[in-house]
Structures are given as C-alpha cells and as structure tokens.
Structure 1
Amino acid sequence: MKGDYVSLRRMKDGDFELLADWIGGRVGTYGAGSPHFIRPEDLSRGADTFLMVVRNGGERIGVVSWRQLQYVGSYELGVAIGDESAWTDGYGVEAVLLLLQYIFHARNAHRVEMKAGLFNRQPMRMVTQGVMVLEGILRDYYFLDGEYHDAVVFSLLRDDYYELVRTLQLQPDTVPQAEKREAFKVFQEYLANRPQDHLSLLLNRGAGLGH
C-alpha cells in the first residue's frame, strides 16, 4: 500500500528488533507513557499485527498496528513514527489513512478506535484536523514525569470513513471502478449471447453427478 510519501509493508527480518528499540525509547514514552523494554520475539507473537511504515525511498521510519477487539469488525489501531526527525512531516497521518483504507476497504471493518495521551501533540492533530472523531476522555490514564495525564479515545465508524474519503477526495479502490464496470459489461454481453436456459442446463448437469 503506497501513499504520496510513505508505504506500508509486512514486517521482515530485523523489523521487530528495530521496533523494540523504538518502543524502549522516546517513542514508547509518547505512545504508552513510559518506555517499554520488550523483546522482539514478544512483539512478533503478540495480539497486534504490525506493518512497517517506509518512506518512499526505502527508509524505515515507523509502524502501524491493529488488533481485533471483542466483536468481529471492531479494531484498535496504533501508529508510531520511530524516526524523531520525521515526527512533524505528516508521515504518521498518511500512514494512518493507508491503514484505514486497508481496515475498512479490504477487511470490512465496522468500527476502529485509537487512544492517545493528552501530552502527545501529534495524535491531537489528527483529532483537530477531523481525521477521526473524538469519543471520550480517560481520566488519569497515563503516569508520566511524576504526574497523571488524561488520554482521549477517538474513533471512526464505517460511514464516517467513507465520508472522510469523500471529503478528502481519497481513492481507496485497488481495482479502478472503470475496470470493474468493464468486467461486468463483458460478462453481461456473454450472458446475452447464451441460451436463456444456459445456467439451468449447467445446474442440471451437476445434479446428475454421483448417480
């Protein structure tokens, strides 16, 4: 999956080691309130599915993740830009948009949510720019620098996502609509030239198998 500035790809050898390094530093602090010293193998075996965020030039700069919640079609998403020099360049927003495209448009999601501490300015920009909908506040959710901080929950429903697609004029289709219409037209013309009972004949042939 490729955007204007970044692409998402599956995790490869060495990616989980890099992710573990990021989580053990400032990225872990911004994402979870403190560094998390975790083994790469634990990340690869956990409940989260990760995709590497790669700048369109090949450099690994972060990850996105998702996990299914209690109900089918309900997911919690995450994003972390590990390269601190890229924190204010919009890569995280584009990575989230690409992940939303995959989750809603390819996996038939109904609802997604994200959480972020109120000390983390980058996710707050996604909320204030209208990419996702503010849903609630979790009081004293994180403990950072000797004090408690609130977190916010923001989400999108399926209809919200497709309204976002229209508003931002996104083009999430993998197969262009014109190709889909052409394929349907070809098949429609094929059926028009078949006998009217063509499908019935095929079914009757199948009904005689095994006797």
Structure 2
Amino acid sequence: MSKDVKLRTLEKDDLEFLHKLNNDPEVMDYWFEEPYMSMEKLKDEFEKSQDSTRERQFILTYKGEKLGFVGLYGIDQRHRYAEFAIMIDTAHQGNGYASTATQLAMDYAFSRLNLHKLYLVVDKVNEKAIHIYEKVGFQAEGELHEHYFVNGEYHDAVLMSIFEKDYWKLPK
C-alpha cells in the first residue's frame, strides 16, 4: 500500500469535487443512481451528516490530489457492521487506487470502529470492481437478481462482505 495514498475526512471545501463525481454518469451508474445532484442538495446532505454516528465519509488523495470518495454507511454499533462504498474519479481509474482505498477503509472499519463485518453491493457487470474486492478479501454472499434499473435495463447485483477475523488473516 502506497504511503502517499490516504483517506482524509470529507470537508466542506471538497463538495465541488464530490459534486463532479455525483454528476458523472460513468461513476454514478455503478452506484445505481442517477447522475443528478445539485450543489445545494449536496451541501444540505453534508450538513446533516456532520452529527451522524452512522456514517463516515472520506476523500481519497494521492500526494494531496483528490482521487475519489470512500464512505462507510449504516454503521451499526450494536451489530457491528457497515456498508462500504467507493467512487474513483474517471481520470484516476485503472491505477490501483481502488484496491488501496478499499484496504484503507477496511483497516479503519476494523481497527478504529471495531466493526465485525463490512459489506457492499456491486453491479454484476462491473467485473473489474468484483475482481478488486475479491483481491482484497471480500467474498460473494449472494446475488440480487434484476435489482437495479440502469440505463433502460435491469441489472443483477452481487452482495459481498468481509469479516474482521478474515481481514486480520490477510497478508499486510
């Protein structure tokens, strides 16, 4: 893992970058969401999230340059799980940043938040992402058939997860 690739807390001055990602169809299709987010809505969501204990939002950087976004959502302290989500700017895709970002997020989830399980939902056609998630230790738990409507057709999704006990067994 490159020491120059880091996760840092999402700040208000990152919203312009996040706005760009949220309006990029190449990024948002993999989030199963319409690439349609106003800056005002983004600011409002940012303000509401400031007091939340159920999510953590990060900007992925390399030597200070913004590469993407990482989020942990639905953090449940009783059952000790959260959903992992990631967006890499299309200008920085294909450079191995997603693997590093995912490893950093897993380390944060298991070392800092003391979670038991991290899970994600990925479009079955996104074979590159599935390969990355498997490479860093996630395993498929099941499939959601015709679960998301993307660009005029239904897509299957794969539910993947990693448990804390399995994370600690991975080579570091």
TM-score higher than 0.5: yes
User: Any conservation in 1 of the 2:77–2:115 contact (CA below 8 Å)?
Assistant: no
Correspondent of 2:42 among 35, 40, 43:
40
Q: Do structure 1's residue 152 and structure 2's residue 154 form an aligned pair? A: no
Q: How far apart are 1:5 and its partner, in Å?
A: 4.7
Aligned Cα RMSD in Å? Answer: 2.0
Residue deviations 1:22-48 (CA, integer Å, cap 9, x gap): 111121122225324252223312454
| Partner secondary structure for residue 168 of structure 2 | helix
Which consecutive segments of 4 or more residues in structure 1 shift more than 4 A? none
Question: 1: distance between equivalents of 2:82 and 2:111?
Answer: 14
Q: 2:112 and 2:55 mapped to 1: Cα distance?
A: 18
- 2:125 is aligned to 119
Greater CA drift, 126-135 or 72-81: 126-135
**Superposition deviation, residue 148 in structure 1:** 0.5
Runs (5+) with no aligned partner, structure 1: 171-211
Contact 2:99–2:136 (8 Å) recurs in 1 = no
Cα offset, 1:130, TM superposition: 5.2
Deviation at residue 69 of structure 1 after TM alignment: 4.0
Letter in 2 for 1:73: R
Greater CA deviation, 92-101 or 128-137? 128-137
CA contact (8 A) 2:102 2:136 kept: no
Tell me if structure 1 keeps the 8 A contact 2:32–2:149: no
| Structure-2 residue corresponding to 1:136 | 142
Greater relative contact order, per chain length (Cα 8 Å cut-off, separation 6+): 2
Compared with structure 1, are the counterparts of its residues 110 and 158 closer, same or farther at alpha carbon in structure 2 (3 Å cutoff)? Answer: same
Task: Give the Cα separation in 1 of the matches to 2:120 and 2:169.
Answer: 19
Q: 1:53: which partner in 2?
A: 60
What is the deviation of 1:53?
0.2
Contact map agreement 1:3 1:98 (CA 8 A) in 2: no
Gaps of 5+ in 2: none
Could you say which structure has the larger radius of gyration? 1
Distance in 1 between the 2:117 and 2:134 partners? 19
Equivalents in 1 of 2:36, 2:166: separation in Å? 33
Alignment partners' CA distance in 1, 2:57 and 2:136: 25
TM-score by length of 1: 0.70
Write 1 or 2 for the structure with the bigger share of helix.
Answer: 1
Question: CA separation in 2, counterparts of 1:99 and 1:159?
Answer: 16
Residues 8-19 of structure 1 aligned to structure 2 (within 5 Å): 8-19=7-18
